[in-house]
Amino acid sequence: MRMLITGGAGFIGANFVHQAVREHPDVRVTVLDALTYAGDRSSLAPVADAITFVEGSVADAALVDRLVGESDAVVHFAAESHNDNSLNDPSPFVETNLVGTYTLLEAVRKHGVRYHHISTDEVYGDLALDDPAKFTPETPYNPSSPYSSTKAGSDLLVRAWVRSFGVQATISNCSNNYGPYQHIEKFIPRQITNLIDGVRPKLYGAGLNVRDWIHVEDHNSAVWAILDRGRIGETYLIGADGETNNLQVVQTLLEVFGRDADDFDHVNDRPGHDMRYAIDASRLRDELGWSPGFTDFRTGLEATVDWYRGHEAWWRPAKAAVEAKYAQTGQ
Ligand code: NAD
Ligand code: DAU
């Protein structure tokens, strides 16, 4: 099996490539990644000898056509992924998330290659704090940000290419991931690296927004289950019942670092900030027999803290620039 993995130098993609090399020795991996600010080749250093790495964009039609033509399956992680960045400049989000996905779809259509599309629960918009509902595959799309709207658009392209052209595709919409190799612009690694530096964590607004946290290894094991046993044309929601508000996350981290529970700052809120995400993953659990390995959030968080403590050389070069950017918006 020859597998093309886009965005393999990013957070989830790199963890997926590691899992592929570790647990699926029959798979020959090629990574296509543009090495944007979010891509880091050193995240693939432990598996560098076992894979082929190609630097380039998913929106480069000639390159994508060649690589897809040499593959049996494509798993598409590459994206502009950060909501805050999409509020400052939406244009790369349109190019990578929409044009890039279109480019891949045209290539898998031409070459008859199996395609799995990695997407997000944010396509469904948000839920109220007092609403017992969770997102299901039937929840109407209602994205809030430039990021989530381009992801929603990319999902709709996939659905149309399945129905109109018979492309052999599946889609997964996952909730918030945490774990090793996550860029420090994101909430959890930003606060961990702040705490390592003796800086107070930064909470947007009141900090009551809820995210449904899942360990990246569990997201990726679900993707393998879909690749193995998923129904073509189907959408699978991935989540591990990890609803936690941002304040609780910060206070757990403060406890892990032995700091006082009120040792954090409230900073400017995100415009249009989604209130709550929650996933009903019963299709994945019932049809494909998937279940998460990380069931205790605190244990997963402690392991993640240890990883950032042990890999300062990986994140340190980006820290000052990330904080300078947040300072511009008072965050
Ligand atoms: P990330 O920002 O850490 O990594 C994105 C990767 O894509 C980087 O390596 C970057 O260099 C690469 N890339 C960007 N533009 C490219 C282009 N034009 N061509 C080729 N490569 C390009 O993102 P992530 O958090 O690992 O997210 C991966 C995927 O998972 C995305 O599709 C995202 O929407 C989805 N997702 C993320 C989460 C989460 O919590 N992080 C949750 C659900 C779904
Ligand atoms: O739900 C899946 C999505 O999760 C993915 O599609 C996105 O790619 C991924 O970035 C993530 O989006 P969020 O916007 O939820 O993640 P982020 O880490 O940016 O923020 C998580 C929450 O923490 C959110 O409510 C905003 C808040 N936050 C964030 C930062 C960076 C803070 O309170 N302080 C911060 O410093």
Residue-by-residue DSSP string for 118-165 = EEEGGGG--B-TT----B-TTSPP---SHHHHHHHHHHHHHHHHHHHH
Mean pLDDT, rounded, for 170-187: 98
Which atom of ligand 2 is nearest to 83's Cα?
Answer: 14
Cα–ligand 1 centroid distance for 119 (angstroms): 10
Specify the residue with its C-alpha closest to ligand 2, atom 3. Answer: 176
Q: By percentage, how much of the chain surpasses pLDDT 70?
A: 100
Phi first, then psi: give them for residue 210, nearest 5 degrees. -105, 135
Q: For residue 31, name the pLDDT band (cuts at 50, 70, 90).
A: very high
Ligand 1 pocket check for 36: Cβ under 6 Å: yes
Q: For residue 295, name the pLDDT band (cuts at 50, 70, 90).
A: very high
- Is 147 part of the annotated catalytic residue set? yes
Ligand 1 pocket check for 6: Cβ under 6 Å: yes
Measured from CB, residues less than 6 Å from any atom of ligand 2 are 81-83, 120-122, 175-176, 186-187, 190, 202-204, 209, 211, 246, 270, 277
Q: For residue 77, name the pLDDT band (cuts at 50, 70, 90).
A: very high
Cα–ligand 2 centroid distance for 273 (angstroms): 9
The residues, any chain, with a CB within 8 Å of residue 199's CB and separated by 6 or more, are none
Ligand 1 pocket check for 237: Cβ under 6 Å: no
Mean pLDDT, rounded, for 223-240: 98
Q: What is the pLDDT of residue 9?
A: 99
Reported as half-sphere exposure (CB side, CA atoms, 13 A), residue 254 has a value of 18
Q: What is the mean pLDDT of the chain?
A: 98
